[in-house]
Amino acid sequence: MNKLFLILDNLLGIREQLNLDKIENIIMDSRKVQKGDLFFAINNGNKYINEVLEKGASIVVADNYLGDDKRVFKVLNTVEFMQKFAKEYREALGLKVIAITGSNGKTTTKDMIYSVLSRKYITKKTEGNYNNHIGLPFTILQLKEKDEIVVLEMGMSGFGEIDLLSSIAKPDIGVITNIGDSHLEFLKTRENVFKAKTELLNYVSSENTYIIGDDQYLKNVVGNKIGFSRENNFVIEDFIDSNDGMSFKVENSEYTLNLNGKHNALNAGIAIAIGKRFDLTSEEIKEGLKNLHLTPMRFQKIEKENLIYINDAYNASPISMEYSLNTFDKLYNNMKKIVVLGDMLELGEKEIEFHREIIEKALSIKCDKIYLYGERMKKAYDLLEKNDKIRCFNNKENIVKLIANEIEKIAVLLKGSRGMKLEEIIK
């Protein structure tokens, strides 16, 4: 019997009640349940208990069940039970845990670290957006005893959330990418974002902390600092950006990526530093970065006929908007360029001011047209002097039509918060 089963048996007594000795898979989505699986009934999942039992689930953990099927184990709170289960399982595993948080760049940095470390170790990572109080423990419970490293992304919107995730994951290595304006609707100030993100530092030593040293809030944190400034432990030098990607040097070794932007060089710098921490050679790290597969919609290049889309529409904040615009400014200047900007969400009482500043930033870069989508962008634009380069839209279909009518080859940047779904313009 594996450790996962033994821990669950210790918590629930499943062997005595069901005469089982293994679990096939751990599932939260009732549609994916197969014979032998353990199903966590979370929130609305309680409605599908009978359905998953009919599919052959061997165990169901639920907090709202009135039936008498002995395969259903009722707990006070399913999510809290899963967190406890994951915490004990993590402690029983012999692997290393790398935890990543920050306002921007978490997912890209996670993908880069994973790609680098996978050259030498059996490595797993957070999939999709499973980075909260449910997704993180669920990810831990998917691990196998043979796994050597897991790279976990930690998201948050308020105080105490990173602390909770860290208490479950017990990280060996901590990464903080930057401190920005995300979640100001809840946290109000960047100082509070800094306090919330750095809850991670209570769980890792300074020698196992990796941060962007160029960030004004992180530069005074004790740890391994990565950045362009000479004061950093890992200095990024000779940075070159082009339509084909970027190159730069760290400790006299040159690295190339099929990506753009100084912000992505910083993310890669973290992956390089952690690769060295785990005794990878520069050649192994280069190979990992060369074979990088990013989660979609992170400055993703998509070519269609006479169009080049830069799909950076997974999410947006003032800092990530600025990163994207600065990068787009230096690319594709041999063709017509269009910037499509959607609303940024969860920015609090200063949201219109933030949107106005981003529109002004867009006006300062090399582009031919700026299309704005969303009520916040429209309100911000109304505060500015009218400009022929800018048009506002209340539906994406009209943006699609205008782009489709372009005759010459064009490059289109899409950037907005997840709720704006700007990627639909491509489809």
More confident residue, 301 or 427: 301
State how far the Cα of 318 lies from the Cα of 321, in Å rounded to an integer: 5
Residues 133 and 258 in one domain: yes
Residues 286 and 304 in one domain: no
Q: Give the number of other CB atoms < 10 A from CB of residue 242.
A: 10
For residue 355, name the pLDDT band (cuts at 50, 70, 90). Answer: very high
Alpha carbons within 13 angstroms on the beta-carbon side of residue 278 total 26
State how far the Cα of 343 lies from the Cα of 382, in Å rounded to an integer: 14
Residue 56: which domain range?
3-76
Question: For residue 1, what pLDDT is reported?
Answer: 65
The token pair at 348 is: 């609090």
Asked, for residue 83, whether it belongs to a domain, the answer is no
Residues 178 and 109 in one domain: yes
The last residue of a domain, from among 76, 107, 122: 76
Asked, for residue 230, whether it belongs to a domain, the answer is yes
Residue 42: φ, ψ to 5°: -110, 130
Asked, for residue 85, whether it belongs to a domain, the answer is no
The token pair at 416 is: 């907005």
State how far the Cα of 269 lies from the Cα of 264, in Å rounded to an integer: 8
Question: For residue 22, what pLDDT is reported?
Answer: 86
Asked, for residue 295, whether it belongs to a domain, the answer is no
What CATH number should be reported for the domain holding residue 169? Answer: 3.40.1190.10
Residues 113 and 46 in one domain: no
Q: What is the pLDDT of residues 171-217, one digit of tens each?
A: 999 999 999 887 777 888 999 999 999 999 999 999 999 999 999 99
What angle (nearest 5°) sits at the alpha carbon of residue 105, between those of residues 104 and 106? 100
| Beta strands 307-311 and 300-304, pairing class | antiparallel
| Rg, the chain, Cα only | 23
The last residue of a domain, from among 27, 43, 76: 76
Asked, for residue 147, whether it belongs to a domain, the answer is yes
Residues 226 and 365 in one domain: no
Residues 249 and 120 in one domain: yes
What CATH number should be reported for the domain holding residue 373? Answer: 3.90.190.20
Q: What is the pLDDT of residues 48-76, one digit of tens each?
A: 999 999 999 999 999 999 999 999 999 99
For residue 351, name the pLDDT band (cuts at 50, 70, 90). Answer: very high
Mean pLDDT of 215-236: 97
Q: How does the average pLDDT of the chain come out, rounded?
A: 95
Q: What is the pLDDT of residues 117-159, one digit of tens each?
A: 999 999 999 998 899 999 999 999 999 999 999 999 999 989 9
Q: Which helix (H) or strand (E) holds 99?
A: strand 96-101
Question: For residue 185, what pLDDT is reported?
Answer: 77
State how far the Cα of 305 lies from the Cα of 293, in Å rounded to an integer: 23
The structure's pTM equals 0.92
Q: Give the number of other CB atoms < 10 A from CB of residue 191.
A: 11
The last residue of a domain, from among 49, 76, 103: 76
Residues 231 and 115 in one domain: yes
Tell me how many domains the chain contains: 3
Asked, for residue 119, whether it belongs to a domain, the answer is yes
Residues 371 and 265 in one domain: no
More confident residue, 99 or 181: 99
- What percent of the chain shows pLDDT beyond 90? 89
Residues 272 and 416 in one domain: no
Asked, for residue 88, whether it belongs to a domain, the answer is no
Residues 187 and 332 in one domain: no
Question: For residue 295, what pLDDT is reported?
Answer: 86
Residues 168 and 249 in one domain: yes
Question: For residue 112, what pLDDT is reported?
Answer: 98
Residues 266 and 323 in one domain: no
Asked, for residue 160, whether it belongs to a domain, the answer is yes
Q: Which helix (H) or strand (E) holds 332?
A: none
